[in-house]
Amino acid sequence: MSVTTTPNGYTLNTGGKRLVIDPVTRIEGHMRCEVNIDDNNVITNAVSTGTMWRGLEVILRGRDPRDAWAFVERICGVCTGCHALTSCRAVEDALDIKIPYNAFLIREMMAKTLQVHDHVVHFYHLHALDWVNPVNCLKADPKATSKLQQLTGPKHPNSSPGYFRDIQTRIRKFIESGQLGPFKNGHWDNPAYRLSPEADLMAVTHYLEALDLQKEFVKLHTVFGGKNPHPNYLVGGVPCAINMDDDMSAGAPLNTERLFFVKARIDEMKAFNDNVYVPDVLAIASFYKNQLWGGGLGGKSVMDYGAYPLVNYDKSTDQLPGGVILDDNWDNVMEIDPRDPTHVQEFVNHSWYKYPDESKGLHPWDGITDPNYDVSSAKGTRTNIEELDENAKYSWIKSPRWKGHAVEVGPLSRYVLAYAQGHEIVQDQIHKSVAAFNALAGTNLGAKPILQSTIGRTLARALESQYCSDMMVDDWHRLIANIKAGDTSTANMEKWDPSTWPKECKGVGTAAAPRGGLGHWIRIKDGKIENYQCVVPTTWNGSPRDPAGNIGAFEASLMGTPVERKDEPVEILRTLHSFDPCLACSTHVMSEEGEEIVSAKVR
Amino acid sequence: MGEQKKVLVLGIGNILWADEGFGVRALEHLQSHYEFPDYVTLLDGGTQGVYLVQDVRDADILIVFDAIDYGLEPGTMKIIENENVPKFMGAKKVSLHQTGFQEVLALADMMEDYPEQIILIGVQPEYIEDFGGSLRPVVKAQIEPAVEKALAFMDANAIEYSKRDTPFVPNDASEDAILTMDNYEQGRPSEELACRMGDDRILTSNEFNVTEPKLAKVGDNPLNVEVDHHLEKYR
């Protein structure tokens, strides 16, 4: 056992029991987590490991930069499109290509639709079961559920007692037939579940409604990008032509009918966010008023590049402004410049990669992806690791840092940055949410204790989804007005031909991906990709320790969390899921034969 | 006569994993040799998982081609119908990416939009862990018999179809053409250029013993009756 204090202020104690969760489920990709738990059932040390290796940087080398988006988009089928968008931006930045206004607006709507879709699916289909107990909903009184619905989301049409009774009957039939369905893996008798049966029934009902609606949301991608998942993108603009009088016979997919179809989808997203998603998160959160742990770096040390400009290429008009906040000082928002070699650096001294000098970090333009898998100091055998050694290399994820500081990324980080910079819409959303939470929970808390928690991450994601649907309404009206004014251009093809490119150049693209700030860095030489690095949100959040000993956001978020039962990782999964981890992006494919798919072991 | 029933013919699987691509290849064969009226949809479901729920819910009659693991002799075809098609959830699959097809069926059931009739035309794979590889001969030989089974089912259920005079060939420019089995097999890079088991730099590190991956041995106790069970151990 050892006790150490990290530069970012955490006391790590490796005594007590070691709990291993491998893999962490209901996430994208493969992740392992080990924690030490003391005699009071409080987590005193956390070790987060990405157990897959991603080789995309290697695959891209030597390819045509105009094709890069199609490769990187396939990093993941869930946050589909955001890697493609970021890649197009990186290439356009390198080649100094400016896209037309219509293309900008269409890309904005595609990106915001992804936010709504991804956030809704994450909450209802991956994260809700951390808070909601579907078995418990069988005990609910449908009349009381109907009342709860009318209290929390009065504008939602599906609120009658009969409707809830009907759903309850279905769930009962399903469970009694011996099928727990998607609800199979839960620890349903764990006292960490706090909802009333009525709230459980309401949430399960919305689980089904969301499953039905999510397929409508992504139709926006099929109109603008041809398909979903993996809609099409284009360096220089968007791959769809506009002809408002057309019946599509000339091959122009955007006409009046299609644009009004898009508007109908945006209205659906807005209604669901306003009437169901945000109210559900607040209602659920209020039952967990005594469990406001899980914050870690969340809302205290945060980063985002900034996103959704009103005027393209003008960062000062970002509707979710970026920056960096350290150590809970919301009065000091610092700048992040993805081009500055001292700002964003990736370290590998605890990652399974090799650098010539591992005491130093590398800026992504100079990034190296050279695998070096070594578990010689771990306990157990090579194919059955019992306990990793966090003092050695222990993850396929690198450790990105801003000027050497560990920061958290994600919707909560964006919301805290916007709030701290006086963003009126975000402040209004947060103030209303805090008031609603306090009213439901009977508490009198300020914004910070609610936001700087597992609940806060989940709430910020819902608010961001809501804001994105509102912004899309504006984007849509601006697109219609611009087309009416006679501009139908959707792509700038001036520099399509590689003969117009400089011999060597480099660029960077950033985006607000659903899971946080995303950056792609590219170097182009003789018309081909010379180096490509993606620094994705989960790399920031899931990073292992850096040479100075700072722990990353996942690890920090688990510190100090009390658990009800040592062998049932309900609280740990709840907090890790609140980041919506995407290990598929942050690392890639590495799994030993015979590995147990889900296991939690106490040692 | 009631309303015309909607028919969905679905091929599922991962063509990057050798015999695991059987369902998609069988569907490709069906499409290239037969034409169907509007009420029949052919869908390459690939590895889409939960996103297939909407298509299954829309269907009255569902015909599925898939690789199955019932612990049979490799290349054995097995027909499973209606209530015998497993629709319980894989206990271990809990992420969106891990949604097996039986979970899609369970969700459709829970949403009370379960197809009236289902036929699963499955073939036991011989080999899966051959990244970029094609179907093994015993599995490939079952494509035509599997398609015949589907057509016989259609005959029995008054679902119309007609044989094409000349096989349908996808447009060269489309991604479908790149993925047709012939093009896919001919375009495969050599083993030296593209390692077929994983990344060389990892596999040759001192931390790993490289062993040939195996499917469950024939003759062992049959595995759980799960349509996609064979995928679990690779996830």
Cα A336 to chain centroid distance, Å, stands at 20
| The predicted structure's pLDDT at residue A584 | 43
Assess whether the previous peptide bond of A229 is cis (omega < 30° from 0).
yes
> Cβ contacts of residue A447 below 8 Å, gap of 6+?
A419, A430, A431, A434
Tell which of A123, A211, A352, A370 to mutate to test the B interface (max B CBs under 10 Å).
A211
Question: Across the interface, which of A211, A591, A597 has its CB nearest the CB of B53?
Answer: A211
Name the phi and psi angles at A138, rounded to 5: -65, -20
What span, in angstroms and rounded, lies between the C-alpha atoms of B213 and B190? 20
Do the beta carbons of residue A551 and residue A560 sit within 8 Å?
Answer: no
CATH of domain B7-185+213-232: 3.40.50.1450
For the stretch A283-298, pLDDT in tens is 999 999 999 999 999 9
* Residue A550 pLDDT > 90: yes
| The predicted structure's pLDDT at residue A569 | 77
> Secondary structure of chain B: what % helix, strand, coil (to 5)?
35, 15, 50
Tell which of B94, B99, B131, B174 to mutate to test the A interface (max A CBs under 10 Å).
B94
Nearest C-alpha neighbor of A243 from the set A235, A231, A255: A255
* Residue A437 pLDDT > 90: yes
Name the phi and psi angles at A496, rounded to 5: -65, -40
* Residue A146 pLDDT > 90: yes
Question: Across the interface, which of A26, A179, A212 has its CB nearest the CB of B106?
Answer: A179
A171 confidence band (pLDDT: 50, 70, 90): confident
Lowest-pLDDT range, A354-358, A484-488, B122-126, B134-138? B122-126
Residue with tokens 């949403």: B111
| The predicted structure's pLDDT at residue A27 | 57
User: Between chains, do B89 and A179 touch, taking CB under 8 Å as contact?
Assistant: yes
With H, G, I as helix, E, B as strand and everything else as coil, classify residue A514: coil
> Cβ contacts of residue B219 below 8 Å, gap of 6+?
none
**A215 in B contact zone (CB under 8 Å):** yes
B182 confidence band (pLDDT: 50, 70, 90): confident
User: Between chains, do A375 and B207 touch, taking CB under 8 Å as contact?
Assistant: yes
User: Between chains, do A126 and B96 touch, taking CB under 8 Å as contact?
Assistant: yes
What span, in angstroms and rounded, lies between the C-alpha atoms of A441 and A447? 14
Count of CB contacts below 8 A, A vs B? 93
Cα A474 to chain centroid distance, Å, stands at 24
> Cβ contacts of residue A451 below 8 Å, gap of 6+?
A298, A299, A412, A415, A416, A430, A459, A460
User: Between chains, do B205 and A170 touch, taking CB under 8 Å as contact?
Assistant: no
| The predicted structure's pLDDT at residue A99 | 98
% of chain A surpassing 90 pLDDT = 73
Highest mean pLDDT (candidates A6-15, A16-25, B106-115): A6-15
> Cβ contacts of residue B168 below 8 Å, gap of 6+?
B31, B32, B33
User: Between chains, do A29 and B94 touch, taking CB under 8 Å as contact?
Assistant: no
A288/chain B closest Cα distance in angstroms: 24
| The predicted structure's pLDDT at residue B229 | 36
Mean pLDDT of A37-45: 93
Find the angle CA(A539)-CA(A542)-CA(A546) to the nearest 5 degrees.
Answer: 85
User: Between chains, do B96 and A170 touch, taking CB under 8 Å as contact?
Assistant: no
A184/chain B closest Cα distance in angstroms: 6
* Residue B216 pLDDT > 60: no
Tell which of B85, B110, B113, B224 to mutate to test the A interface (max A CBs under 10 Å).
B110
Q: Which residues of A touch B96 (CB under 8 A)?
A: 28, 78, 121, 125-126
What span, in angstroms and rounded, lies between the C-alpha atoms of A595 and B235? 9
| The predicted structure's pLDDT at residue B131 | 78
**Higher-scoring residue by pLDDT: A374, A114:** A114
Tell which of A215, A573, A583 to mutate to test the B interface (max B CBs under 10 Å).
A215
Q: Which residues of B touch A (CB under 8 A)?
A: 50-51, 53-54, 87-89, 91-97, 103, 106-107, 109-112, 198-199, 201-202, 205-209, 211, 213, 232-235
For the stretch B36-62, pLDDT in tens is 999 999 999 887 777 888 999 999 999
With H, G, I as helix, E, B as strand and everything else as coil, classify residue B33: helix
* Residue A196 pLDDT > 70: yes
Q: What are the C-alpha distances in Å from A358 to residues A534, A548, B20?
A: 19, 11, 41
Residue with tokens 């035309």: B121
**A505 in B contact zone (CB under 8 Å):** no
A361: number of CA atoms within 13 Å, CB side? 22
What span, in angstroms and rounded, lies between the C-alpha atoms of B154 and B7? 10
* Residue A481 pLDDT > 70: yes
**A78 in B contact zone (CB under 8 Å):** yes
User: Between chains, do A181 and B106 touch, taking CB under 8 Å as contact?
Assistant: yes
User: Between chains, do B54 and A375 touch, taking CB under 8 Å as contact?
Assistant: no
Name the phi and psi angles at A351, rounded to 5: -115, 155
Residue type, B140: K
Lowest-pLDDT range, A400-414, B125-139, B165-179? B165-179
> Cβ contacts of residue A64 below 8 Å, gap of 6+?
A498, A527, A528, A529
**A486 in B contact zone (CB under 8 Å):** no
Cα A14 to chain centroid distance, Å, stands at 30
Q: What are the C-alpha distances in Å from B94 to residues A118, A334, A600, B111?
A: 17, 39, 15, 19
Do the beta carbons of residue A400 and residue A517 sit within 8 Å?
Answer: no
Strands (E) located in chain B? 7-12, 34-35, 40-46, 61-67, 77-81, 117-123, 162-163
A443/chain B closest Cα distance in angstroms: 35
What span, in angstroms and rounded, lies between the C-alpha atoms of A366 and A219? 39
Average pLDDT, chain B: 78
B211 confidence band (pLDDT: 50, 70, 90): low
**Higher-scoring residue by pLDDT: B194, B105:** B105
ipTM of this complex prediction, to 2 decimal places: 0.73
What span, in angstroms and rounded, lies between the C-alpha atoms of A193 and A594? 32
Q: What are the C-alpha distances in Å from A456 to residues A286, A294, A300?
A: 12, 9, 12
Long-range contacts of B104-108 (CB under 8 A, 24+ apart): B104/B49, B104/B50, B104/B52, B104/B53, B104/B56, B105/B56, B106/A179, B106/A181, B106/A182, B107/A181, B107/A182, B107/A211, B107/B50, B107/B53, B108/B53, B108/B56, B108/B57
| The predicted structure's pLDDT at residue A361 | 96
| The predicted structure's pLDDT at residue B218 | 42
Structure tokens at A555: 């690890």
* Residue B128 pLDDT > 70: yes
Structure tokens at A384: 């059955």
For the stretch A354-401, pLDDT in tens is 999 999 999 999 988 888 888 888 888 766 778 899 999 999 899 999
User: Between chains, do A121 and B96 touch, taking CB under 8 Å as contact?
Assistant: yes
Lowest-pLDDT range, A135-149, A239-253, A463-477? A239-253
Residue A504 bridge partners (DSSP): A525
Question: Across the interface, which of A26, A174, A371 has its CB nearest the CB of B94?
Answer: A26
What span, in angstroms and rounded, lies between the C-alpha atoms of A566 and A25? 18
Lowest-pLDDT range, A101-115, A169-183, A457-471, B49-63? A169-183
Interface of A with B in 10-49 (CB under 8 A): 25-29
* Burial status of residue B204 (CB atoms within 10 A of its CB: 0-12, 13-18, 19 or more): exposed
Length of chain B in terms of residues written: 235
Highest mean pLDDT (candidates A180-194, A397-411, B158-172): A397-411
Structure tokens at B91: 């206990």
What span, in angstroms and rounded, lies between the C-alpha atoms of A279 and A480? 31
Name the phi and psi angles at B62, rounded to 5: -120, 125
Strand pairing category for B7-12 and B61-67: parallel
What span, in angstroms and rounded, lies between the C-alpha atoms of B61 and A505? 56
Does the CA dihedral A56-A59-A60-A64 come out positive or negative? negative
| The predicted structure's pLDDT at residue A603 | 42
Average pLDDT, chain A: 90
Highest mean pLDDT (candidates A515-524, B67-76, B104-113): A515-524
Lowest-pLDDT range, A469-473, B92-96, B165-169? B92-96
Mean pLDDT of B100-105: 76
| The predicted structure's pLDDT at residue B217 | 43
B84/chain A closest Cα distance in angstroms: 15
Q: Which residue of A has its CA nearest to B55?
A: A215
What is the residue extent of each domain of chain B? 7-185+213-232
| The predicted structure's pLDDT at residue A250 | 61
Name the phi and psi angles at A8, rounded to 5: -90, 20
User: Between chains, do A26 and B92 touch, taking CB under 8 Å as contact?
Assistant: no
**A247 in B contact zone (CB under 8 Å):** no
% of chain A surpassing 70 pLDDT = 91
**A178 in B contact zone (CB under 8 Å):** yes
| The predicted structure's pLDDT at residue B205 | 64
